[in-house]
Structure 1
Amino acid sequence: MDGSSRLISRRQLLAGSSAFLLIAPASVAAKQAAADVEGNTATAKSLVDTIEPILSYDTSYNLQLAIQNYEAFIAANGSWEEPTRETFGLKLGVSRRAAALLKRRLMINGDMPLEKRVNDEFDAGLDAAVRLFQARHGLVINGVVDEATFYALSVPTDYRLNQLRLNAQRIDYWAKALSDRYVVVNIPAATIEAVEGAQVVQRHVAVVGKVDRATPILNSKVHQVKFNPYWTVPKSIIEKDMIRYMNEDPEYLTKFRIRIFDGKGNERQPTDIDWSTDEAVQYTFRQDPGPENSLGRCKIDFYNKYDVYLHDTPQKSLFSENARFYSSGCVRVEQVETLISWLLRDNGGWDLPSVQAAFDSGTQDNVALNVQVPIHTTYITAWANRQGTVSFRDDVYGFDAQGLVSFG
């Protein structure tokens, strides 16, 4: 059975997943390990969040090296063994035979230095290796073999090799459109990179589209930032969500300062609508600016036919989750103020304090970019950096399973 026929769906793996170069220099993380778990976390992040962009020709070259290593391993050993049930729940301080088996596995991945003998202790070195494995998965870094980590360990070797090959082709295809300065939204990782001069200058956690309301894949240009915007609710959300919310709580619109307008611009009251039908889709629903606005304090517009955009959000807690696929296609950005200051730098007078002041003012203001910035929403589930760190993510939209390279 080849790798393409053993692809694992999101429904089988409950969270995003990642593995590493089999001879990865990333094993330096274990060498630097100490009892200080915060230090282990910082080291893991430093090996993953390097300056190389996910979408670049350099990444394509690094992926070719990873492919060679995976092919060599499979030729010599076949697939690595799946974790045993006893592996689940392992954490620092636990003594269990499964800890020794986990060490062997993480040595294969390059997360720990090779040793001839291992003991059953979940020690500082294993803690560092598990945190590095989690960082490469894009998982919450806690040093515990929790559910998401266990399932990531269960992904077979040939599945990972297939991801490497497929994504090398994707990156080669998309890299042709790159300029010196651009923004990349990587949907499977739910992250954003601001890139300039072939280096990542900012990296942001994101929330992207649900499986049934996917964020579209496209190339475009950011042309405008809206401060303290109104939110006009898409008809699809009125139909799929708003009617249900109102049936559950008739005060929903009032609580969230969402007003209703008819086709002539006249404001209507929620009591004017029969919520037992789909009558509501005939009206325009608009949410006033404010802290509870679904767009938060800003909206970043780029040209597209899907009516999607980047934006702030009042739901900050979602950024700390493993799988951040909650939106209806738009992309929510953590620490969006720093991205805006970078996008508006050619407008003059815009820096981080001035962006924050615009947020705090509550005043609606639309600012057109003097220099429009290219943006690419992409689908990369495997990439590598020059340190030898290979990261993987879950095939949340099933595009790996379909073998898709281009998305025209």
Structure 2
Amino acid sequence: MHISRRKLLASVAVLGFVGVSAGRAQEGDSGWDLFGNKPKMRKADIDGNTATAKSLVDTVEPILSAQTSANLQLAIANYEAFVAANGNWDTPPREAFGLQLGKSGRAAALLKRRLMINGDMPLEKRVNDQFDAALDAGVRLFQARHGLNINGHIDEATFYALSVPADYRLNQLRLNAQRIDFWASSLSDRYVVVNIPAATIEAVEASQVIQRHTAVVGKVDRATPILNSKIHQVKFNPFWTVPKSIIRKDLIRYMNEDPEYLAKFRIRIFDGKGNELSPTDIDWATEDAVNYTFRQDPGAENSLGRCKVDFYNKYDVYMHDTPLKGLFGENARFLSSGCVRAENIDTLVAWLLRDNGGWDLAGVQAAFEGGLREDIKLKVQVPIHTTYITAWANSQGTVSFRDDVYAFDAAGTVSFPEAV
């Protein structure tokens, strides 16, 4: 559905709250020369645009909180008004794919109008066809709000997010308002939230985010369970006992592809009496391997990294470090077998162990690097909520969205039995 200039102005009045602060990221220069209306490029502060985008999204407000619930109600009202008046916003033309700073064309002008509707750019009466500094800032804010790599390019993930209809986004807001209300009653003063669709972790205290961590969570077919629990133990430089599901789905295949796999990754085999076996004792052409225990020694290549954070659950999932740090830079971080991998987990562990005494950040890092093999029970257990929130809003008016990776939005699911 085409949105006319008049509708655009009305739409910005409705949805402009989404990124109302974004206008501060750009100066008033429209990018047009005063002599003859020829487009004039203003040098883009790329790092500044990225920093501004992040600051508008990553505030101290928790995703899971009563304040977010109130913010969502405002967002819902504005999106309802927009959809009622316009039906939809324009989908990006194919020519928009691949656009980036310095390029020009009709698609750039259409992209500006779209980002003005969402509040990612301030309203301008006259829009040129240059992918200029202002458009770069708007694209970066849009990417930050959708959890994408902030690169200023209309890449595949950004093009896809721009193509999602307005009524779909409205439905996300409505569903997630109910989910947050569902969880809000179980919140305490201090807690950890894993938001699965965002693949992020927040450590919250006194209604503020103290730490925020990028995470890797479960694949679609090995989903991270949604539940309320308590973190009760931290294990430094742990052994990793390979779950039977991974033995069956992965380890047997790895050994058939490379018979030296176990030796390379320092994984040892034990029978039911604790006797160590050789890989040649296993029939890898069958599922014989699931009858044995596979344990990986501590060390730099250990799948759990330098620590494991345990919380009560029946699924044998937990939070842990990882040697594969590069995964935290991916857009779609749904790569684990159900457990949660946390970036910069040393700072989170120090926060969790603060009541145990002697475990500041320096102490945790020393334990990591020194290879300390110790299990420490928390003197004060910390609640943890693994959640499913695909849309939320903060008090600055910034609305964020994520993909419905486990299809709970599609099913209309708003409550989860084990999160009660």
Q: TM-score range by the shorter chain?
A: over 0.9
Residues 18 and 118, structure 2, Cα contact 8 Å, conserved in 1 = no
1:356 Cα shift?
0.2
1:249-398 matches, cutoff 5 A: 249-398=258-407
Instruction: Choose from 229, 233, 245 the match for 2:254.
Output: 245
Whole-angstrom CA distance in 2 between matches of 1:221 and 1:212: 25
Q: Does 1:216 align with 2:225?
A: yes
Matched, 1:405 2:398: no
Q: Deviation at 1:28?
A: 3.1
| 1:278 positional shift | 0.6
Aligned residue number for residue 202 of structure 2: 193
Give 1:166's aligned amino acid: L
Deviation of 1:31 (Å): 3.5
The 5-angstrom pairing of residues 11-90 of structure 1 reads 22-24=15-17, 26-33=19-26, 35-90=44-99
Unaligned runs of 5+ in 2: 1-13, 27-42
How many Å separate the matches in 1 of 2:49 and 2:102?
15
User: Could you tell me which amino acid in structure 1 is paired with residue 21 of structure 2?
Assistant: V
Aligned partner letter, 2:327:
L
Could you tell me how far 1:25 is from its partner in structure 2? 5.8
The structural deviation recorded for 1:257 is: 0.1
Task: Write the deviation string for residues 109-153 of structure 1: whole angstroms up to 9, x where unpaired.
Answer: 001111111000000000000000000010000000000000000
Q: Is the 8 A contact 1:31 1:125 kept in 2?
A: no
Q: TM-score, normalised by structure 1?
A: 0.94
- 2-structure distance, mates of 1:154, 1:88: 11
Q: Shift in Å at residue 27 of structure 1?
A: 4.0
Aligned CA RMSD, in angstroms, stands at: 0.9
Which digits, 9 at most, give the CA deviation of each residue in 1:274-319, with x for residues without a partner?
1111100000000000000000000000011110000000000000
Question: Does the CA contact (< 8 Å) of 1:30 and 1:128 recur in 2?
Answer: no
2:108 aligns with 99
Q: Counterpart in 2 of 1:167?
A: 176
Contact persistence 2:355–2:379 (CA under 8 A):
yes
- Amino acid in the other structure paired with 1:171: I
Q: Give, in angstroms, the shift of residue 177 of structure 1.
A: 0.3
Taking the aligned partners of 1:125 and 1:22, their CA distance within structure 2 comes to: 19
| CA radius of gyration, larger in | 2
Higher RCO (CA-CA < 8 Å; seq separation 6+): 1
How big is the shift at 1:23?
1.6
Verify: 1:205 aligned to 2:198, yes or no: no
Q: Could you say which residue in structure 2 is the equivalent of 1:4?
A: none
Q: Is the 8 A contact 1:29 1:40 kept in 2?
A: no
What one-letter code is carried by the residue in structure 1 that aligns with 2:367?
A
Select 2:237's aligned residue among 228, 233, 239.
228
Instruction: Note the residue ranges of structure 1 that are not aligned, 5 or more in a row.
Output: 1-20
The question of whether the paired residues in 1 share the 8 Å contact of 2:20 and 2:396 is answered with no
Q: How many residue pairs end up in the alignment?
A: 388
Shift of 1:26: 2.1
Partner of 1:120: 129
How many Å separate the matches in 2 of 1:27 and 1:375?
Answer: 33
Question: Separation in 2 of the partners of 1:405 and 1:288?
Answer: 41
CA displacement, residues 200-247 of structure 1 (integer Å, 9 cap, x when unaligned)? 000000000000000000000000000000000000000000000000
